[in-house]
Structure 1
Amino acid sequence: MNLEELFNRYKEQSIQGRYITLEAIEPLLEKFNTDNQVQVIGKSVLEKQIYKYEIGQGKIRIFMWSQMHGNESTTTKGLFDFLNVLNSGSGFALQLLNTFTFCCIPMLNPDGAELYTRENANKIDLNRDSQNLTQPESRLLRETFEAFKPDYCYNLHDQRTIFGVGDTGKPATLSFLAPAYNEEREVNESRMKAINLIAGMNEVLQKYIPNQVGRFDDSFNINCIGDTFQNLGVPTVLFEAGHFQDDYEREETRKYVFVALVSGFELLSENDIVGNGIGKYLNISQNKVVFYDLMYKNVKINYDGNEIITNFAAQYKEELVDGKICFNAYIIQIGDLENHFGHLVYDAKEELYKDDFDNLPKVNQKANFYLGNTKEFVNGLIKS
């Protein structure tokens, strides 16, 4: 099966970019709701509706949720691309629907999605509320889990551009985790199923994004929802959609989310999962904080009358302005950038740094500056 061709055919064109709100997905849910498959399961803190969508009649029950963190929208896009496949009427769709029953909460945190924040409207991280269940969104997730009784859980997230695949210099475009179920991080039957599934998906992804798949840290935290569900005996897979080169809108990354979803379900439906994939799982390099968005090397600065050569880096902050996400670059590190990489690297070749303040780069300062007499940088990029 050509998964790229399948993605291009079923990509949901109505949702693009990073800012995906409830209003964007409600028409899609309405389109899918041909036989009462879509239901309102409750409301958010700010009284926005939270939906679940159920489709299929197979024995293997799959529970999936996205945008638990409101500003993590890439997996929501990939999920709707996949749901388009399920609604296509194709032979492959029928195979999946006869094998699986899918229950999806495509946007658990609609308030956070609207505000473009990680937290909900009460400023609570829902992924740290799986035990206390203080928030209505957390309670709805748990109630749906208990009623649906899944065989597998898919916990769908985004991760920041700072993550790379070990020390390879490659960005972690997708990362996975089979969460621990106890403090000792032991592997039981349930966790092994998640490990085997990740190993299978990774083998497929390596054909598309070689060396750009990472493994997330498995430190145990029972307050995290994945750890809780794994602790309750349900194999749980954490997805973390990350950066692909020059893809800050994450339109390329959504394709690999789609590839992972489709390939994983294809492997499960054909019972083609390896029996003990822990070696392959552990061979996936662990995520490491090694990237800056923008890196400037060999920059000359005039410091107290002395000219020195240094480096500095800038990072984008995603800021919601008038309903759009703006990527605003701020200086974040000055000096030794050893063992770090930049998604974009500029060699100043000892040109003199100047800005409109005191001609010294400072942490948290907007990345607007000059190098030499002719090169102006605006928002971190050279002005053409």
Structure 2
Amino acid sequence: MDYEKIFSQNKEKKIKGRYITLDDIEPLLKKLNRENQLQIIGKSVLENPIYSYQIGTGKIKILLWSQMHGNESTTTKALIDFLNFLNSESEVANQLLGFFTFYSIPMLNPDGAKLYTRENANKVDLNRDSQNLTQPESKILRKVYEDFKPDYCYNLHDQRTIFGVADTGKPATVSFLSPSYNEERSINEERVKGINVIVKMNEVLQRYIPGQVGRFDDGFNINCIGDTFQSMGTPTILFEAGHFQGDYDREETRKFIFFALLSGFIAIYENVVVGNQIVDYMNIPQNNPNFFDFVYKNVRINYDSSELITNFAAQYKEELINNKIFFNAFVVKIGDLEENFGHLEYDANKELYSDSNQNIPNLNQKADFYLGKNVQIVNGLVKL
């Protein structure tokens, strides 16, 4: 199957980048509302509508939700692309629509999306509210779950650029998890169903991003929505959209999330996810928070009247200014970086560090400095 071609045919070109709000997706959903598939299922804290989009007539019911965390928009883009595909009237799309019923919530947290925050407008992390259900958004998702009674749940998220695939030096561009349902992290029949789908998705992704698929930590937390739904007997799959080299807008990662969605549903449709593929699942390397956006090595500094050679790292902070996301780099670690990697690494070759302040790197300062007389670093990057 030509996943690249299918994606290019169905990619929604009206949304891109990291800042995706309800204003961006609402007209796209309305355009897809050909047979009354779009519904308002509730309101957010700030009274913004929360939409569902249901399509398909099959007996296998799939519940998908995205942007539970407002600043995690990659899977929302991929989900809209996938809805475009389901409406494409292609042979594969029609086969899936006859086999599945898809119930999606493309943006569970529209307030957080507008503010570009992880939390909702009450500053509550909805992914820690699955038991107490204190927030309207949490209650809406729970009611949908109870009424729809899905056969599979797809919990769609982004993860930070800090995650790599074990100690390979490769970024975790896509990560998966079949969550635990108890403290012992036991594996039962429902969890195996999610595991088997993940293995099939990983097999496809390895053709495009070899070595860049990770397995998310399965520590049990009943307050997390995936762990809750798994404990309630529904196979649940966590998606984490991560970093692809140079892709801070996550347009490449968006494509791979689409590949994963499509390939996983095809695997279920073709009935090739039966059996037990726990070993293959466990062989997917686990995520490791060992990356920085920038690593500078062998930097000479004047410290306390002595010259030292050190390393330091900088990380982007994402800041919303005038409805646009700016990536501003700050120093976050100084010293031993032996077990860390940088998405961009620079060897200073013992050139002397200097800046406009104390001429030594300090934590939390902006990553603007010189290395020697000729190399200027502005916002983490070498100024050309």
TM range (shorter): over 0.9
Q: Partner of 1:358 in structure 2?
A: 358
TM-score by length of 2: 0.99
What do residues 150-206 of structure 1 show as CA deviations (whole Å, max 9, x unaligned)?
000000000000000000000000000000011111111111100111111111111
Q: Partner of 1:232 in structure 2?
A: 232
Counterpart-to-counterpart distance in 2, 1:91 and 1:297: 53
Q: Which amino acid aligns with 1:306?
A: S
Q: Partner of 1:81 in structure 2?
A: 81
Cα RMSD of the aligned pairs, angstroms, is: 0.5
Counterpart-to-counterpart distance in 2, 1:352 and 1:360: 10
- 4+ runs deviating over 4 angstroms: none
Query: Is 2:118 the partner of 1:110?
Result: no
Q: Which amino acid aligns with 2:138?
A: S
Q: Partner of 2:177 in structure 1?
A: 177
Give % identity.
69
Q: Which amino acid aligns with 1:239?
A: F
Query: Is 2:369 the partner of 1:374?
Result: no
Counterpart-to-counterpart distance in 2, 1:212 and 1:140: 34
Q: Partner of 1:217 in structure 2?
A: 217
SS in structure 1 opposite 2:139? helix
Q: Which amino acid aligns with 1:237?
A: I
SS in structure 1 opposite 2:362? coil
Cα distance, 1:369 vs. partner? 0.3
TM-score by length of 1: 0.99
SS in structure 2 opposite 1:263? helix
Counterpart-to-counterpart distance in 1, 2:85 and 2:237: 21
Counterpart-to-counterpart distance in 2, 1:187 and 1:291: 30
What do residues 200-254 of structure 1 show as CA deviations (whole Å, max 9, x unaligned)?
1111111111110000000111100000000000000000000000000000000
Q: Partner of 1:151 in structure 2?
A: 151
What do residues 265-295 of structure 1 show as CA deviations (whole Å, max 9, x unaligned)?
0011111114111000000000001100000
After superposition, residues 1-384 of structure 1 pair within 5 angstroms as 1-384=1-384
Q: Which amino acid aligns with 1:37?
A: Q
SS in structure 1 opposite 2:226? helix
Q: Which amino acid aligns with 1:29?
A: L
Counterpart-to-counterpart distance in 1, 2:345 and 2:131: 43
SS in structure 2 opposite 1:249? coil
SS in structure 2 opposite 1:338? coil
Cα distance, 1:305 vs. partner? 1.1
Counterpart-to-counterpart distance in 1, 2:331 and 2:160: 17
Counterpart-to-counterpart distance in 2, 1:119 and 1:51: 18
For structure 2, which runs of at least 5 residues remain unmatched after alignment?
A: none
What do residues 107-154 of structure 1 show as CA deviations (whole Å, max 9, x unaligned)?
000000000000000000000000000000000000011111100000
Q: Which amino acid aligns with 1:330?
A: F
Q: Which amino acid aligns with 1:137?
A: E
For structure 1, which runs of at least 5 residues remain unmatched after alignment?
A: none
Q: 1:203 to 1:274 in 2, by over 3 A?
A: farther
Does structure 2 retain, via aligned residues, the 8 Å contact 1:75–1:158? Answer: yes
Counterpart-to-counterpart distance in 2, 1:187 and 1:335: 41
Counterpart-to-counterpart distance in 1, 2:383 and 2:289: 29
Does structure 2 retain, via aligned residues, the 8 Å contact 1:200–1:274? Answer: no
Cα distance, 1:34 vs. partner? 1.2
Cα distance, 1:32 vs. partner? 1.0
Does structure 2 retain, via aligned residues, the 8 Å contact 1:181–1:228? Answer: yes
Q: Which amino acid aligns with 1:310?
A: T
Cα distance, 1:5 vs. partner? 1.0
